[in-house]
Structure 1
């Protein structure tokens, strides 16, 4: 069976020449549909660069990237945008919510780019917020929500369009321990429902809760193991 994600000999080099930085240095990785995986590394390890590649937010200098059987390494910005909109739900450490929109409006936003009508958008966004336990906070703006609630809005936004891949960049990095447990439980439920969930993290406690751990250091994958 073709893997959902196949990366082969991927390089990303900044400042080519004498002072070059190999953010990704000959990286190869396969991720199957339905996996629950953490990509783990310290600051400067290359994990954020790798996340940008996996999320089609950036393109490699060389190497292959096949997503769901399609070669995406050399697509145009518009083509990459279309893939992001249909294939990947993003959850960021900083929430990335629009301050002047309420929770419902924030979750609706990516659905606009899918061309959905207003009523349909509201229904889908409302369902997504209910799934993360915020059915009573839909009309609240980000500054009226706790950090954990803001991250749940971000999760709802990521899952509203039901993308097959959830890509979470340090999703618990700005949260207290209670909110961290809540967000991890939501991600586990998403995995159980059939989504492929990829978490980018530096935190071994988070990595211990997934099925597979890929460790990256100095732009290279140094280990790939299954959690017992």
Structure 2
């Protein structure tokens, strides 16, 4: 386990509280609060800076943390970089919502992001002399698929779109991604995967379909905070 040793950053101030080596990262801090209150024991809140709530507790006797990250690659990238490089986190598991881009992927279905295609330029800083394939850590992906099978949860594993754009001025853009077999769209996994790969730690993005972009179906804000329990229960078993 990692110890904060009273370290802090401009965005995370644990005041000496522990941040575990495995952390769940929902975008919504209220989803982090729900997970801590519903699933964890002996919970300590380690962050409230900018309202980005973070907690550490135990799940089936194992230490695990959970913290919100906000929306988009910049926000996820700041929090994940600090968690990795300042607080020693080794396994980072995003649990988020996504919009389906395929007709056979419906509300509440679960997706494991094996790869993260992106329109973000975040990766340019690493100066890779080519096009880097952004992927999950196979170790976490394999374990998560095994847990899902044991729980009887049907999941889809494949490529997702991690986009910087929520309201796109080009109405044809999302259809082009769909035609390439992209399962769904979200906004954070590419930044998380790039930071993890560069630091040599593990990352995985587990998503629940919250809306269908072409069918115009969607869940409510409250459901996104509290009803996406299947992906939470898969992620917790990875501690």
Name the TM-score class by shorter chain: 0.3 to 0.5
Query: Bigger radius of gyration, 1 or 2?
Result: 1
TM-score norm. by structure 2 comes to: 0.33
TM-score norm. by structure 1 comes to: 0.34
